């Protein structure tokens, strides 16, 4: 190892000598450079060098080379800007970095990120090693599409070699036929080259300017007229009509040739990926973004193929509708005539869609578009509600209601759509109609829909609270509705519902007691929660706030007799007792700890809280007793000690 490192350092001698001779670095600085390089070389020559060793060495050499360039410029400026002949030190740094990259990639052949760093450095420095590095990475990673794309881009942009770039793309497609990116970049390459050829032929007067369509024709003709003096006519000035006709025929053949190549590429792509909707969307975007004529047939073929293969899915129709919008990411402004025209065009697409594909997913996309349109900017005005939109939205609100009715008639309402249907009525201020709808749906086909039950009971409670109607008849109706809901909805899914119910019935002793009995029956069946929302803890908190701590104690004692009251209940009750602060409360807290540990003896946080209580309110003997009990129960002394010391 030492001999190899010493040999590599000896090879640096001409470079270091040149740096000292040209006064770029002093002798002491060169000594530090040698010392640092020796350390890095030893790290690279150990049995199992790390990737970080190579990267740190490369970064050091890059910084050193940047410093060399800065000092060279400073010396040159001091000499009056006189250029000096290139010497060995000017290229030695780049060569060394490339060599380190080469060793790193040979050591870590599978690291594609490292390979691309290597390629980028070669590209930045315009080094001849680039070609060999590309060949190596393609040999080691033939199944990585990005490698072929990078190689083709370099061949086309750097070497201006379209044939080589296209050949690389084709080789990549043979190796990775299922890569969308490769197919897309292949089409982009062909169209980019076609566009460059068109511009070249137009400038040389070899092609009809109309190749790019009417818009491009006007722009190109205007540019040529303004710069007429830059070009020399290649004909004899006689205006040979026969020659012009022949030229147009040649141009037409040339156009058809490239269009046929593009069509063939597209057909091969859909053969390889027949079910990829995103691939065809990207193809269409590229074709439409290219300012070339004679591509209408390609565009038509893509659209027809998409309709044939994907019209059975809602995503296709949603995408087709977005084509009618100027900005698909923003809802049209329905206060303008153009915005309303766009909305009407989109509605036509969705109407055709639901006639061909009547499904909940299709109706959801249709309805979502209408709601976002009515609210103008979707999420930005979602909180404003539909009732706050402009007068232009009234027709669309009526249309939206008809769409919901149509979905209901076709049996295409999902639980989400039903809830959205009800919210529409709530937003326009028709609470009675909304509650009637909720009742019909929850008593019909959506009797087990959790989200619907939660919405129905929530709105019923809100109406009761806002109307201040706390009569026995009103509370009885709400309570029976709530009782139906808890049969279908788990406690964890109705956290806010229970809190609303406790608030609503808190001032009515009869129904508050019934609510507590209902909760006890439910907890006896399902148990409490160990984390997250704890219904027993919430109930104890309400009883404590309403009737005082003694009533709360009586109630939580009933809860703790249940089969599985939950860890959350114990922790909450312990906090209540500790907050009281008197001796009786501390004694109750100890009892609760003992009761909780009987079930949750492996919970470290519970032992820690118990230990903290004894430290603050007990004696050293009681605290030590808790500690040793915990250590004996848990067994893991390290985890226990760390927990107690935090």
Tens digits of residue pLDDT in 293-349: 667 888 889 999 999 999 899 999 999 999 898 888 888 888 788 888 999 999 999
Tokens of 287: 């074709």
Confidence of residue 243 (pLDDT cuts 50, 70, 90): very low
Give the residue-averaged pLDDT of 619-627. 87
Q: Is residue 371 over pLDDT 80? A: yes
pLDDT averaged over every residue in the chain: 83
- What pTM did the predictor assign? 0.68
Distance CA 609, CA 614 (A): 9
**185, pLDDT greater than 50:** yes
> 425 pLDDT exceeds 70?
yes
Q: Residue 79 has what DSSP assignment?
A: T
Contacts (Cβ under 8 Å, ≥6 apart) of 1: 42, 45, 46
Q: Which residues contact 399 (CB under 8 A, 6 or more apart)?
A: 347, 370
Per-residue confidence band for 538, with pLDDT thresholds at 50, 70 and 90: confident
Strands (E), 139-209: none
Q: CA 466, CA 128: separation in Å to the nearest integer? A: 79
Note the pLDDT of residue 61.
Answer: 94
Q: Which two tokens stand for residue 293?
A: 């004529």
Higher pLDDT, 236 or 632: 632
Residue 134 clears pLDDT 90, i.e. is over it: yes
Comparing 248-262, 316-330, 425-439, 581-595, which segment has the lowest mean pLDDT? 248-262
Domains of the chain, by residue range, sit at 177-227+243-310
Share of the chain above pLDDT 90, in %: 29
> In the structure, what pLDDT confidence band is assigned to residue 382 with cuts at 50, 70 and 90?
very low
Q: Among 452, 454, 416, 458, which Cα is nearest to 437's? A: 452
- pLDDT of 206 reads 63
Dist. CA 147–CA 105, nearest whole Å: 14
**Confidence at residue 155, expressed as pLDDT on a 0 to 100 scale:** 94
Look at residue 643 and tell me whether its pLDDT is greater than 70. no
The rounded distance, in Å, linking the Cα atoms of 386 and 374 is 7
Interval 445-484: pLDDT, tens: 887 888 888 888 888 888 888 777 777 788 888 888 888 8
Rounded to an integer, the average pLDDT of 50-77 is 92
DSSP code at position 619: -
Q: Are 385 and 429 in contact (CB under 8 A)?
A: no
Dihedral, CA of residue 371, residue 375, residue 379 and residue 385, to nearest 10: -90
> Residue 251 — pLDDT band, cuts 50, 70, 90?
low
Average pLDDT over residues 30-41: 93
- DSSP character for 602? T
Residue 3: predicted pLDDT: 85
Residue 24 token pair: 């770029």
The confidence score (pLDDT) of residue 146 equals 95
Nearest to 287 by CA among 277, 275, 300: 300
- Helix and strand numbers (H, E) in the chain are 31, 0
């Amino acid at each position: 190892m030492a001999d190899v490192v010493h040999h590599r350092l000896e090879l640096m001698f001409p470079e270091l000598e040149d740096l000292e001779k040209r006064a770029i670095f002093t002798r002491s600085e060169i000594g530090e450079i040698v010392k640092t390089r020796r350390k890095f070389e030893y790290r690279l020559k150990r049995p199992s060098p790390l990737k970080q060793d190579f990267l740190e060495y490369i970064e050091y050499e890059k910084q050193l080379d940047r410093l060399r360039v800065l000092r060279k410029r400073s010396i040159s400026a001091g000499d009056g800007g006189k250029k000096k002949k290139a010497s060995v030190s000017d290229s030695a740094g780049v060569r060394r970095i490339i060599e380190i990259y080469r060793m790193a990639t040979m050591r870590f052949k599978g690291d594609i990120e490292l390979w691309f760093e290597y390629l980028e450095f070669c590209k930045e420095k315009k080094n001849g090693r680039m070609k060999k590095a590309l060949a190596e990475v393609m040999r080691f990673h033939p199944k990585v599409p990005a490698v072929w794309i990078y190689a083709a881009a370099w061949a086309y942009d750097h070497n201006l070699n379209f044939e080589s770039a296209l050949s690389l793309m084709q080789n990549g497609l043979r190796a990775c036929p299922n890569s969308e990116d490769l197919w897309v970049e292949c089409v982009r390459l062909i169209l980019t080259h076609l566009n460059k050829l068109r511009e070249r032929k137009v400038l040389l007067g070899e092609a009809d300017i109309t190749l790019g369509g009417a818009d491009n024709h006007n722009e190109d003709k205007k540019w040529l007229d303004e710069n007429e003096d830059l070009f020399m006519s290649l004909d004899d000035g006689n205006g040979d009509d026969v020659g012009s006709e022949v030229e147009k025929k040649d141009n037409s053949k040339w156009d058809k040739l490239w269009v046929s190549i593009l069509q063939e590429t597209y057909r091969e792509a859909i053969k390889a990926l027949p079910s990829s909707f995103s691939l065809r969307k990207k193809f269409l975007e590229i074709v439409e973004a290219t300012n070339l004529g004679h591509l209408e047939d390609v565009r038509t073929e893509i659209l027809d193929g998409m309709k044939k293969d994907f019209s059975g899915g809602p995503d296709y129709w949603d995408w087709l509708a977005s084509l009618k919008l100027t900005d698909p990411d923003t809802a049209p402004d329905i206060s303008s005539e153009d915005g309303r025209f766009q909305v009407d065009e989109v509605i036509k697409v969705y109407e055709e869609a639901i006639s061909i594909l009547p499904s909940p997913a299709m109706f959801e996309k249709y309805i979502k578009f209408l709601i976002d349109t009515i609210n103008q900017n979707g999420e930005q005005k979602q909180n404003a509600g539909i009732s706050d939109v402009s007068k232009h939205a009234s027709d669309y609100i009526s249309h939206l209601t008809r769409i919901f009715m149509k979905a209901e008639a076709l049996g295409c309402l999902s639980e989400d759509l039903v809830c959205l249907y009800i919210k529409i009525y709530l937003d326009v201020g028709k609470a009675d109609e909304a509650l009637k709808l909720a009742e019909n749906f929850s008593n019909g086909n959506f009797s087990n829909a959790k989200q619907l039950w939660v919405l129905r009971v929530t709105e019923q409670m809100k109406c009761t609270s806002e109307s201040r109607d706390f009569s026995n008849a009103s509370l009885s109706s709400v309570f029976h509705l709530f009782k139906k809901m808890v049969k279908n909805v788990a406690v964890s899914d109705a956290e806010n519902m229970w809190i609303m119910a406790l608030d609503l019935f808190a001032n009515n002793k009869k129904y508050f007691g019934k609510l507590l009995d209902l909760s006890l029956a439910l907890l006896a069946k399902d148990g409490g929660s160990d984390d997250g929302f704890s219904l027993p803890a919430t109930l104890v908190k309400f009883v404590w706030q309403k009737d005082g701590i003694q009533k709360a104690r009586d109630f939580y004692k009933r809860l703790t007799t249940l089969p599985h009251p939950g860890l959350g209940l114990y922790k909450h009750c312990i906090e209540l007792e500790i907050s009281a602060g008197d001796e009786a409360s501390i004694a109750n807290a100890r009892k609760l700890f003992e009761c909780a540990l009987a079930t949750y003896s492996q919970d470290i946080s519970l032992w820690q809280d118990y230990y903290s209580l004894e430290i603050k309110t007990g004696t050293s003997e009681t605290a030590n007793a808790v500690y040793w009990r915990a250590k004996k129960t848990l067994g893991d002394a390290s985890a226990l000690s760390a927990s107690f010391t935090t």
